[in-house]
Amino acid sequence: MNHRGILLVVSGFAGSGKGTLMKELMRRYDNYAFSVSATTRKPRPGEVHGREYFFMDKDHFERMIENDELLEHACYVGNYYGTPKFYVEEQLAAGKDVILEIETQGALMIKDQYPDSLLLFVMPPSVTELHRRLVERGTETPEVIASRMERGRQEVEEIEKYDFLVVNDNIDECVERLHGTIVSAHYATKRNMETIETIKKEFQEFFE
């Protein structure tokens, strides 16, 4: 069967708990690698190059854009942030399933570039529960919460373009559900064309 990793694109409403789920997935299983972003912002104390971010200057980053070396990129508050292809490619080749946590628009762009990527959408059990979680966090103003709910309303229109939909009603079960779905994705025929070619060749040789 195939030994190359799968590019996992994970999205979900703010408050769906996808950050916690990803951390737990990484903690429990060793087949995952978290995509490390590149940025032009300065490292903060404790941040390590290649762990939190690949830190680089503006010239370097812009050269990467020109050379099509980023899966996607954006500019926030005067700094660039982006996903370098080299890291993703390196991890996939090493057989790691690479997790990219990204919003819906970027996710669909990545699906175009990597048709073999697996798009996973994490949902809260209900909209009421989503709102409750955002309020309970206690870290955001009512305005921010309202804008996140509005954002969710827009994102919901894109869910059917994802491959799988996982409801986060219980962290533990949801992690196992995600992991099971990712493991199974490795058995999809489209990811095993080499195995099929090998067996075709073996039949050929058998009859020679």
User: Angle 129-135-141 (CA atoms, 0-180°, nearest 5)?
Assistant: 145
* Smallest distance from a second copy to CB 185, Å: 8
Determine phi and psi for 141, rounding to 5 degrees.
-70, 160
Among residues 179, 151, 152, 147, which one has the least CA distance to residue 164?
179
Report, in Å, the least distance between residue 187 CB and a second copy.
Answer: 5
Q: How far is the CB of 2 from a second copy (least distance, A)?
A: 10
Contact 178, 25 (CB under 8 A): yes
CA distance 68 to 62: 10
Give one DSSP letter per residue of 107-168, joined into a string: HHHHHHH-TT-EEEEEE-S-HHHHHHHHHHH--S-HHHHHHHHHHHHHHGGGGGGSSEEEE-
Judged by the rule CB under 8 A, the positions of this chain that interact with a second copy are 1, 121, 123, 126-128, 131, 149-150, 152-153, 156-157, 159-167, 177, 180-181, 183-185, 187-190, 192-193, 195-196, 199-200, 202-207
Task: Pick the closer one to a second copy by CB: 26 or 145.
Answer: 145
Question: In terms of CB distance, is 67 or 128 closer to a second copy?
Answer: 128
Nearer to a second copy, 90 or 194 (CB): 194
| CB of 137 vs a second copy, minimal distance in Å | 18
Least distance from C-beta 52 to a second copy, angstroms?
31
C-alpha to C-alpha distance for 137 and 49, rounded to whole angstroms: 30
Whose Cβ is closer to a second copy: residue 139's or residue 189's?
A: 189
Q: Cβ closer to a second copy: 86 or 187? A: 187
